[in-house]
Amino acid sequence: MMASSYNAKDEDGHHPGSVSSGGPGAVKSKKPDNTAFKQQRLPAWQPILTAGTVLPAFFMIGLIFIPIGIGLLVTSNNIKEFEVDYTGVDMSSPCFNCAQNYSWNSTSGCTCSVPFTLDQPFESNVFMYYGLSNFYQNHRRYVKSRDDSQLNGDKSSLLNPSKECEPYRTSDKKPIAPCGAIANSLFNDTLELFYNHPNGSRIAINLVKTGIAWWTDKHVKFRNPGGINNNLSVVFQDTSKPVNWHKAVYELDPSDPDNNGFINEDFIVWMRTAALPTFRKLYRIIQKKKDNMTPTLPPGNYSLDVTYNYPVRSFDGRKRMILSTISWMGGKNPFLGIAYITVGSVCFFLGVVLLIIHHKYGNRNNNADIPN
Amino acid sequence: MLRRRLNRLCGGDENRVDSRTIYVGHRPCPDTEAFIPSKFCDNRIVSSKYTVWNFLPKNLFEQFRRIANFYFLIIFLVQVIVDTPTSPVTSGLPLFFVITVTAIKQGYEDCLRHKADNEVNKYLVTVLEDDRSVKKESEKIKVGDVVEVVEDETFPCDLILLESSREDGTCFVTTASLDGESNHKTHYTVQDTEKDLQALTATIECEQPQPDLYKFVGRMHIYKAEQEPAVRSLGPENLLLKGATLKNTKKIYGVAVYTGMETKMALNYQGKSQKRSAVEKSINAFLLVYLCILISKAVVCTTLKYVWQSKEGQDEPWYNQKTQKEKDTNMYLKMFTDFLSFMVLFNFIIPVSMYVTVEMQKFLGSFFITWDKDFFDSEIEEGALVNTSDLNEELGQVEYVFTDKTGTLTQNNMEFIECCIDGFQYKHRDTQSEVDGFTMTDGVMNKLHQKAGQEKEELFLRALCLCHTVQVKEPGSKEALTDQVDGIDGILPQLEEERGFIASSPDEIALVKGAMKYGFTFLGLESKSMKIKNRENNIEEYKLLHVLNFDPVRRRMSVIVQTKSGETLLFCKGADSSIFPRVKPEEVDRIRMHVERNATEGYRTLCVAFKQLSAEEYAMADKGLSDARLALQDREEKLIAVYNQVETGMSLIGATAVEDRLQEEAAETMEALQGAGMKVWVLTGDKMETAKSTCYACRLFQRGTELLELTVRTLEDERLKRQEKLYELLQEYHRKAVQDAPPVKAGVTRSWSANQDYGFIIDGATLSLLMNPPLEADASQYKSLFLQICQNCTAVLCCRMAPLQKAQIVKMVKNSKGSPITLSIGDGANDVSMILEAHVGIGIKGKEGRQAVRNSDYAIPKLKHLKKLLLAHGHLYYVRIAHLVQYFFYKNLCFILPQFLYQFFCGCSQQPLYDAAYLTMYNICFTSMPILAYSLLEQHIDIEILLDNAALYREIANNAMLRWRPFLYWTVLGIFQGLLFFFGVRFLFSNPALQDNGQVFGNWSYGTIVFTVLVFTVTLKLALDTRHWTWINHFVIWGSLAFYVFFSFFWGGIIWPFLKQQRLYFVFANMLSSVSAWLVIIILILLSLLPEILLVVLRKPRGPHSRQKKPSQSNVGGNQSSQSSARPLLMRTFSDESNPVI
């Protein structure tokens, strides 16, 4: 179609006076260039997928993938993981009362203590996650309900948040900081871990609350407005706290100015919306002991003290606390190992099958060749 | 379209009447009623479509009339109006890009047209106005103006020639730019007008403008003081067409009759009707499927959304409240907008970019045809020409080839072989032999008489010299003709040999040259007198009284000349069938044998007859001819009636045989086409015997071929009427060719494999009987019988065809069951109709002018080029575009499927899985270039092998790569990969702590991992399919992947100002820092490609084996067998297919 219209112009231009051009084709009277490209003779590599090349590849894949898969599976199995559901759905659950009597207005907060036992020691750093189920952090209305420039410390966005934040944009005629549904629903249960020593003493385990968010998020993407200003309450004075929050954003961690306001790591972690409705988020890190002799979490009885603030019953959600060690591949997930072993085996098996077919065909063909 | 414009411009205020009256020089005429200057349109040529003002709206309107563009516009508008998951930019940007590029292209083309128009319209011409000449811009010429044109100028409008600087009142023009015929044509002034233009008072009555270049009917009334007005007839020979160029004449004056858009040139300028290729139809069918998929996806999601929301606490949990506006919206309206949102979310499944890529592929790809040096012919210094790039792939799908004989199969380079005078055969052996060059071959007939009488011989040769419309080419265009004619006596014989002749038909030249060999030389036509030099080197002069032109219906032409002595002679030459009934029967028998023998030898034969006209006879004929020529209505019919009346009672003097040599490699080409499974039909106007011999020579008919004839001769039967006989024969042939033939397997639709080859011959008369039987009811039955027979024959020969019948046949086959793809190839004006009718029209840049080339889709210099055009270019283009189309649908299916699946995990909330940048860039940047490079450069089989092995063409017959099966395969592949991408990552994300520092990934990481796997898989899939890796492929494939990685880093590396959301900030980099992400990407890519690899390896041993046997045996030879034992079979069989010659 394009070419035809280009040619049309040749035919239009019959102007008087121009010496007869000898028809439209006269322009092209030159011999075409004899270049490799124009003659479609560019030197080319012509790979051919043959059984000869594919068979070794299959065996190779099999031989490489199966060990990787075994390695992954072993790694994953070596990861210790412990999960405790403290939603309080059952009557027997210690948090049942807190879950039942929940109201937004209570400022004191209901506390409950969930006992649990670790059978195996947790070595090295232990990571403490909270997990939520049936919580749609990936709902579109939810995902877009944030203002990244406000979170980046932009003054104008602070006072005039994006429309996307509706209906969590303003409260009491003041702009909300941080605005939006994500920030508004910040997970605000407080989890504390105690080791019940066999001698009866209750030892609080030190939970580190930094290093849980992406470095780039903490240092670049999220910034407090007004630069390094210690007095965050002044910066945020014209804003209102999110409606469901108990305290303002500059009160998230008053003890540590580098973890307060928008750069509070709990907040940053929460703001990275999860991919699936059942998810976990990093809450605290339990650093390994200095001496390296005793495990970070020795086997024994523990109790999880929860300040129960976060309601999930209304949407059938669940809350969990997860303790996990971490390997080079991340948390416990046997999927990769299984996948690698399966694919490796399948490749190997296919290689064998192909080899057999190959031989059968080869023989038959050789026989057929002889009379020729 | 022009016609419409024309009506708007000119037809508004004037009611259409049959003729228009023109006042020469705007001078009122005495006896007509009041001088009313009627309104005609001005002489402005408008070929441009747009003006500066209306360009934008008009161009946009035209672009959005395309269904695809309109669809994308709607999607864009929905995105703007409704709250949709993706920003309008994602679909607006590609659409904007497409629209802009097209608009710029069209604007540029229109600009060129404006420029050309302006050059024409502003050109200064000289107009005689009130006794003086005035320079005027060409566009200001009005009908009735007297215009002066000097040598080598083109005529600014259609003129009636009034005065010429040449003494004989003629002028020469060349119409190369109109119909491509570069010979000089003679035009005549109207008699009695050339004396004094200023004093001339005349009106011209002529028909309303019509596009036929060769028809013009008019009448001129010349008013002289105190005299009855004289009436002169005007014909095409008086009309100088706009666009033609004046040659060999210093200056002429003419009166404008048609101007501007009413000139014949403008009326002939029309866009060719759009031909659509089968691939495009397939695309549309696939689009429909994908549209259904799209809609059903949207419906499913909308339904699920409301099912999900109906559950307590799901619709509006405390953490995710709706805005007040959302709460207020009507539920049903909400449902509808949700549906639209899902449509928008999934609309990428129907990609805008596919149209762009397909267009680009076609446009750029067609250059390879023009560039191909194998198509370059050193004789005419030209290569192939692509008039439309829309049909590149159709060249790979041809099932029926309709070829013209003369000039296509044969060279149209006529050579006079022999003649037969009065039953005696003369064969010229030695061109150098002098006067008595006549040598006789031994014929049965020649035993008694050695020679025909001297008188008969000379009469015959004079007839050859006189009965034609040949012109003598003048050496040096600037030289005046008179000089040359004066000097003619002195020209040496050698020079005369070199003298060029120009004629509309090469037979005539051959005949004139043939006569020259025997001593009679035609010297030229000078003011209605023809000069010939006879054997005694004396100049004989004949006054040319009338030329009874050749036309394909009469199949003969005549001249009436007057000798010096006053005798009036009529010479007539024509096909035997048209001459024999018009001469004395006893003369026929003597000649017929020769004619038939010559015809079977493949020569073109013409019979020559003459008749002496008595004075009364001539007077009658003269009057009849003049009357008929003056007629304004039905002139043609009247003329033919007079011609037929004059051309009777002649006596036959002889016959000629002219050889038409086969084109270079004609036989090989035909064999290759047949080997490629195409059916070749020869459609010719020639007689059966000649055509048949050509068919044998081209190996279309083989020795073993059984010929089924359906001609006038076979229809002759004493017992039955022609109609009944026709039916009987049809039945019989049908039984033979169709019913008795072994049933053909469904897979192999071509019947060539049947044991007995059949050839079918039909002639024009029988065909018209078959197409229009007396009983209407029989028509369809006859046609279907005929078609079935033809479809089971290897070759079909249709002889004695009129141009229209050729098109009729093409149309019939085109519309037959299965609508096969047809290709017509021809070189002459008589092939134009069939070239236009067929799916693909190919013009040969032959000797018969350029009309065929201008109307064709592709033009090639020689028939032999057809082989490469179809077998190599056509095959490759088809494979390329088919792969392109399938690949596009596939890659967008596995692009969108994860996004669809994600809806089940996000509460059907239209949350996009991928970032907007990825959504937009996927089709534009990340995956478009490799497939474009592939679709331009791929040679899955080497060109040489394609040419050597015509049978390979059959593998792609019947749109093999775009049928539903391959489509299903690609779709299943897309679905499989889409599922794999999504669920692979889904299982990985069952624990989102994927980094070795325990940190977790969010939804954008999820999408980025899926997208990375997707881009790599889709690109590598193409890499797997690529059989021909040039550096460009390497560059583009690895380049796109590198670009993707680079872009992702870049896009995630900066906090973008002006963007509301920084979703992807460092997501990609963080993903790469996770070992698990790497591992999952690798295994998913591998797993997605595994079935493909497996299939390639498994499929090969069976498929090509049976098909490949023959060629590999003949071509590969010993080389192959030595390898076969050494190499494993799976490998060998596969490599055999793509590489039979090692």
Q: Check if B120 contacts A (Cβ < 8 Å).
A: yes
Tell me the fold of B385-409+666-739+757-860. Answer: Rossmann fold (3.40.50)
Name the token pair of B237. Answer: 């020979």
Query: Is there a contact between B102 and B63 (Cβ–Cβ < 8 Å)?
Result: yes
**Does B660 carry a binding-site annotation?**
no
Give the pLDDT score at B412.
Answer: 66
Q: Check if A103 contacts B (Cβ < 8 Å).
A: no
Q: Identify the active-site residue in B404, B660, B763, B1136.
A: B404
Give the pLDDT score at A31.
Answer: 76
Question: pLDDT band at B899, cuts 50/70/90?
Answer: very high
Interchain proximity A139–B993, CB inside 8 Å: no
Give the pLDDT score at A15.
Answer: 37
Where do we find the tokens 């498929």?
B1103
When the candidates are 3.40.50.720, 3.40.1110.10, 3.40.50.300, 2.170.270.10, the CATH number that belongs to B413-428+455-473+499-660 is: 3.40.1110.10
Angular region, B908: left φ>0, alpha ψ -120 to 50, beta rest: left
Q: Check if B104 contacts A (Cβ < 8 Å).
A: no
CA distance B1138 to B1100: 11
Query: Is there a contact between B357 and B935 (Cβ–Cβ < 8 Å)?
Result: yes
Question: pLDDT band at B918, cuts 50/70/90?
Answer: very high
Sign of CA dihedral B554, B557, B562, B567: negative
Where do we find the tokens 């998020």?
A217
CA distance B624 to B644: 11
Query: Is there a contact between B214 and B195 (Cβ–Cβ < 8 Å)?
Result: no
Give the pLDDT score at B318.
Answer: 87
- For the cut 90, the answer to whether the pLDDT of residue B366 exceeds it is no
- For the cut 70, the answer to whether the pLDDT of residue B553 exceeds it is no
Three-state SS for B785?
helix
Report the C-alpha dihedral over residues A160, A164, A170, A173, rounded to 10 degrees. Answer: 60
Vertex A148: Cα angle to A143 and A154 (nearest 5): 160
Dump pLDDT digits (tens) for B216-266: 888 888 877 667 777 878 888 888 888 788 877 888 888 888 888 888 777
Dump pLDDT digits (tens) for B956-1008: 888 888 889 999 999 999 999 999 999 999 999 999 999 888 899 999 999 99
CA distance A226 to A234: 10
**Does B268 carry a binding-site annotation?**
no
Pairing of strands B840-844, B858-860: parallel
- Max mean pLDDT among A111-125, B745-759, B801-815 falls in A111-125
Give the pLDDT score at B4.
Answer: 47
Chain CA centroid to CA B1064, Å: 52
- A-B Cβ pairs (cutoff 8 Å, strict): 393
Give the pLDDT score at A104.
Answer: 66
Q: DSSP label at B951?
A: G
Query: Of the candidates B608, B662, B576, B672, which has an alpha carbon nearest to the alpha carbon of residue B874?
Result: B672
Name the token pair of B444. Answer: 């049965």
Comparison of pLDDT for A305 and B714, the residue scoring more: A305
Distance from CA of A157 to the nearest CA of B (A): 10
CA distance B305 to B342: 11
**Any catalytic annotation for residue B315?**
no
Query: Is there a contact between B788 and B812 (Cβ–Cβ < 8 Å)?
Result: no
DSSP string for A4-37: HHHHHHHHH---TTSPP--SGGGGG-SPPP--TT
What percent of chain B is modeled with pLDDT above 70? Answer: 82
Give the pLDDT score at B889.
Answer: 92
Range B494-510 average pLDDT: 63
Q: Which of B376, B996, B1066 sits opposite A330 (nearest CB)?
A: B996
Give the pLDDT score at A24.
Answer: 38
Give the pLDDT score at B987.
Answer: 94
CA distance B697 to B592: 23
Q: Check if B1125 contacts A (Cβ < 8 Å).
A: yes
Comparison of pLDDT for B385 and A277, the residue scoring more: A277
**Cis upstream peptide for A167 (omega within 30°):** yes
**Does B131 carry a binding-site annotation?**
no
Q: What is the mean pLDDT of chain B?
A: 78
Q: Check if B986 contacts A (Cβ < 8 Å).
A: yes
Task: Outline which parts of chain B fall under CATH 2.70.150.10.
Answer: 141-268
Query: Of the candidates B1052, B1129, B319, B935, which has an alpha carbon nearest to the alpha carbon of residue A362?
Result: B1129
Q: Check if B976 contacts A (Cβ < 8 Å).
A: no
Give the pLDDT score at B1023.
Answer: 93
Range B134-157 average pLDDT: 85
For residue A6, list chain B residues with Cβ-Cβ distance below 8 A: 109
Could you tell me which residues come within 8 angstroms of residue B961 by beta carbon, excluding any fewer than 6 positions away?
B878, B879, B882, B883, B886
Comparison of pLDDT for B411 and A273, the residue scoring more: A273
Name the token pair of B480. Answer: 């005046």
Interchain proximity B1097–A354, CB inside 8 Å: yes
Dump pLDDT digits (tens) for B579-590: 888 888 777 887
Query: Which residues of chain A register pLDDT less than 50?
Result: 1-29, 364-372
Q: Which of A211, A336, A365 sits opposite B1129 (nearest CB)?
A: A365
Interchain proximity B990–A335, CB inside 8 Å: yes
For residue A217, list chain B residues with Cβ-Cβ distance below 8 A: 1065-1066
CA distance A356 to B311: 56
Give the pLDDT score at B206.
Answer: 84
Range B557-567 average pLDDT: 85
Task: Outline which parts of chain B fall under CATH 3.40.50.1000.
Answer: 385-409+666-739+757-860
- For the cut 90, the answer to whether the pLDDT of residue B25 exceeds it is no
Give the pLDDT score at B452.
Answer: 61
Dump pLDDT digits (tens) for B718-729: 667 777 778 888
Dump pLDDT digits (tens) for B1043-1090: 999 999 999 988 888 787 888 999 999 999 999 999 999 999 999 999
A110-134 burial, b if ≥16 CB within 10 A, otherwise e?
bebebeeebeeebbbbbbbbbbbbe
B607 beta partners: B574, B655
CA distance B235 to B258: 14
Comparison of pLDDT for B452 and A296, the residue scoring more: A296
For residue A184, list chain B residues with Cβ-Cβ distance below 8 A: 319
Q: Which of A16, A32, A362 sits opposite B154 (nearest CB)?
A: A16
Give the pLDDT score at A5.
Answer: 33
B556 beta partners: B551, B574
Q: Tell me which of B356, B1097, B1122 to substitute to probe the interface with A (most A C-beta atoms closer than 10 Å).
A: B1097
- For the cut 80, the answer to whether the pLDDT of residue B400 exceeds it is yes
How many CB atoms within 10 Å of residue B863? 27
Where do we find the tokens 């967008």?
B892
User: Letter for the amino acid at A282?
Assistant: L
Give the pLDDT score at B1046.
Answer: 95
CA distance B904 to B297: 12
- For the cut 70, the answer to whether the pLDDT of residue B920 exceeds it is yes
Interchain proximity A330–B993, CB inside 8 Å: yes
Give the pLDDT score at B1020.
Answer: 95
Report the C-alpha dihedral over residues B665, B671, B676, B678, rounded to 10 degrees. Answer: 100
B825 beta partners: B403, B842
Question: pLDDT band at B742, cuts 50/70/90?
Answer: low
Range B101-123 average pLDDT: 82
Three-state SS for B921?
helix
Task: Outline which parts of chain B fall under CATH 3.40.1110.10.
Answer: 413-428+455-473+499-660
HEC sequence for B634-658: CHHHHHHHHHHHHCCCEEEEEEEEE
Q: Which of A18, A184, A331 sits opposite B991 (nearest CB)?
A: A331
CA distance B637 to B237: 18
Q: Provide φ and ψ at B293, rounded to 5°.
A: -60, -45
- For the cut 50, the answer to whether the pLDDT of residue B440 exceeds it is no
CATH classification code of B141-268: 2.70.150.10
CA distance B1115 to B351: 44
Q: Check if A150 contacts B (Cβ < 8 Å).
A: no
Query: Is there a contact between B675 and B753 (Cβ–Cβ < 8 Å)?
Result: no
Give the pLDDT score at B808.
Answer: 82
Give the pLDDT score at A79.
Answer: 93
